[in-house]
Structure 1
């Protein structure tokens, strides 16, 4: 029952974050909290199932890309914070773990976006990026 409530709460926060630009910063800060609370009160399996249900229901309400990128962004950070608090890790360990999980979630979101939206492999994307950058550099040098 608690997992269902948290799932609905997560969906509401994702909708607010997606549709109300002024509140998106607040939503970004608040979204890992329900995941952390659920991890502290329940176990890992229940939290993961809540995240999956939230992704599926958000796919119906908004769109699949927003749902999956939101899950990558907030679930990793929320699970990391919940683990650190439940395991009574030091504040330094928690801070480093949250920084690393934030970096990991950003990289995974970027990779997912490149793979799904651009429909390219990472190497193709990087190759086209470097080719375009070198072309712009050559053109700017020719102008001077």
Structure 2
């Protein structure tokens, strides 16, 4: 009995030490994320990982405890604003990562869950800024982004000099001048959704790579040629787009937000699926090597050929050419 109690005490002590070490590691990573621009972009994908590892190694409670300690220490050392970011975005993302890997949730569902957690966390973080820091935070950020785009355009023109003709210059100039704060606001919800999925995918792959190096059993990554979207989700996106069109035609402001964002999400989704289908057929039906298949795929998803990829993606949503969607509309024999 005494021996068992001693073992339990040692295990509890080890857990507390690990939680403290990971909390300290979180402070170090947070410093790079928020104060070192270039390195911070890399550290951004690493910040949730300590909480994920604690969840996997031990349990949810210990990971949450370490998160609470991290939030307090970050608030004391770097300020309440950064602590809110850690507590609303990166901590919950780490807990979601830990849940997904510990319970072996497949990649598509993991990325979806991570995207939802990130989007909700970002909304909470922005709400904090609007309420307690700067009421014009979104407007100022959008204006800064537009100014940055215009400055980049002007610098590009100065660099290229006379290599661009006057017609192309005028077209580019009109496109840049057409960018307004209202346009940014209309596209913001859709952009946030896509960004959330992008961040979720990056966090998943980076965490998987680190866990694999630590010799943990990890979830397999779906090959790009088998990437698909469930036709039910595709139908939902199309329905939301149509709803946005109807509301926009009735001159409701919310219709512009729904329509603009839904179109962005729909186009990106169809383009991604179209690229996967093109790569699949280039590699498996035309027996191209990976390099050639990638070159063909990239060429067909870039303008002016990207319209073809959109149509291919839409057709695959209906017919599932690769037979990878278990919920496809026209079920035949599964592809072996």
Query: How far off is 1:118 after superposition?
Result: 3.6
Q: Please, which runs of 5 or more residues in structure 2 have no aligned partner?
A: 1-16, 139-181, 183-336
Matched, 1:117 2:133: yes
Aligned mates of 1:101, 1:18 — CA distance in 2: 20
The match for 1:93 among 109, 113, 128 is 109
What is the CA-CA distance between 1:74 and the residue it aligns to?
0.4
Runs of at least 5 residues in structure 1 that lack an aligned partner in the other structure? 126-132, 134-144
Is residue 4 of structure 2 the alignment partner of residue 4 of structure 1? no
What are the equivalent positions in structure 2 for 1:105-144 lying under 5 Å apart? Answer: 105-118=121-134
1:28 partnered with 2:41: no
Matching of residue 53 in structure 1 with residue 98 in structure 2: no
CA distance in 2, matches of 1:27, 1:73: 14
Q: Aligned equivalents of 1:36 and 1:108: distance in 2? A: 21
Q: Between Structure 1 and Structure 2, whose CA radius of gyration is higher?
A: 2
Q: CA deviation at 1:15?
A: 1.1
Q: How many residue pairs are counted as aligned between the two chains?
A: 123
Query: Secondary structure of 1:31's match?
Result: coil
CA drift at 1:119: 6.8
Q: RMSD of the TM alignment (CA)? A: 2.0
Structure 1 runs (4+) deviating above 2 angstroms are: none
Partner Cα separation in structure 1 for residue 118 and residue 70 of structure 2? 20
8 Å contact kept, 2:19–2:66: yes
State the secondary structure of the residue aligned to 2:45: helix
Give the match's secondary structure for 1:30: coil
Going by fraction, where is helix more abundant, 1 or 2? 1
State the shift of 1:92 in Å: 1.5
TM-score, length basis structure 2: 0.35
**Is 2:65 the partner of 1:38?**
no
Q: CA deviation at 1:44?
A: 1.1
Q: Aligned partners of 2:90, 2:59: CA distance in 1, in Å? A: 17
